[in-house]
Structure 1
């Protein structure tokens, strides 16, 4: 005669030692939390590295455009009026806009500037070379003479021409290859101000 059937109960991976199982569970939880922390920290480190690399790339591509004027040619030998933009930065500069004022009033072209400052007794304009700066890309170290005036034969006209740069004020907006933009003003000693976009309300100076 057979005895009653005995059923065995399986308890998964439990060892039968309560404290051992509890300790193993706690260790597993600690490892999981530590892994999560390391993953989050690694992500933050990678993001910080990416931001640092982006700042470094931006810094090595930073343009800086300034305005200057001269009463001689580039060699310093011939009397000549030159109005010049120079990229003194370490990255290319894209000229997006320029406003030129003479004696506090914006002028829209070289002809308007010369009429305001330098017409002779008969109203003739001095010989000149003009080159638009708007839309131009200046390489690091590159200069652009956007206006050159030869010395006038008429002494009084040349005197007015020689005085003209002192009454000229320039505002220029330019951007880097990463579309970061700045405004430089000659009235602020060519200090560059970071802007979100180039101003749309300027009286644009054209050649």
Structure 2
């Protein structure tokens, strides 16, 4: 009689331990599934911004210097901070970079009356980079300088100096995860982007 009671206790303990192990395994499987789903959502919304520059408009084959940010990722990128680094100097204003690289030519260019600055004669086009959303597989061209009679010296100087510019971009995904990139393909996760005025 005592043997069957002992066996019954053993059986109950074994069943209880099995139930606990199954619960723990189930909890762990749920945790792994949730983590996997979270990583999948991150992967589906991950932006990948890269800086680029060129000196020919691919649509018209005309000489146009451009500076751009391209989102090669699968999710939109909210650009928070763009820092321009040129020969030891750093600025968050693209026109400060132009002043640093090409001050004489920029002065001469800016001395032209605004009414004369058409794109055909060598005008320029700009776009803001502050708190701008760059959709997935899209491009933000933030400065374009057309080559023409009024921009010839600035265009030539900028074309020679643009290779010395590095651009650091801090941007966030829709999930408010932020990243910094400065070199092509090198992206670093950060807590938040610095705030600039």
TM-score of the pair, normalised by structure 1: 0.80
Q: 2:130 aligns with which of 131, 134, 139?
A: 134
Shift of 1:130: 0.9
Shift, 1:190, TM fit = 4.5
Question: Residue 81 of structure 2: which of 94, 97, 111 is its match?
Answer: 97
Residue pairs, 1:1-207, within 5 angstroms: 17-118=1-102, 119-120=104-105, 123-125=108-110, 127-153=123-149, 155-185=152-182, 188-200=183-195
TM-superposed deviation, 1:109 = 2.8
- Is the radius of gyration larger for structure 1 or structure 2? 1
Q: Against the structure 1 CA distance between its residues 170 and 24, is the aligned structure 2 distance closer, same or farther, given a 3 Å change threshold?
A: same
Task: Give per-residue Cα distances to partners, 1:155-186, cap 9 Å, x unaligned.
Answer: 4333212213112210001111112211111x
Contact 1:82 1:147 in 2 (8 A): yes
The farther-off stretch of 173-182 and 118-127 is 118-127
- Offset, 1:135: 0.7
3-state SS of 2:105 partner? coil
Contact persistence 2:83–2:93 (CA under 8 A) = no
Asked whether the equivalents of residues 110 and 130 of structure 1 are also in contact (C-alpha less than 8 Å), the reply is no
Whole-angstrom CA distance in 2 between matches of 1:121 and 1:20: 99
Structure 1: runs of 5 or more not aligned? 1-16
Please, what TM-score do these two structures have when normalized by structure 2? 0.83
Describe the SS at the equivalent of 2:159. Answer: helix
| 2:53 match: secondary structure | strand
Q: Which moved more, 1:146-155 or 1:105-114?
A: 105-114
Which deviates the most, 99-108 or 53-62?
A: 99-108
RMSD: 2.1
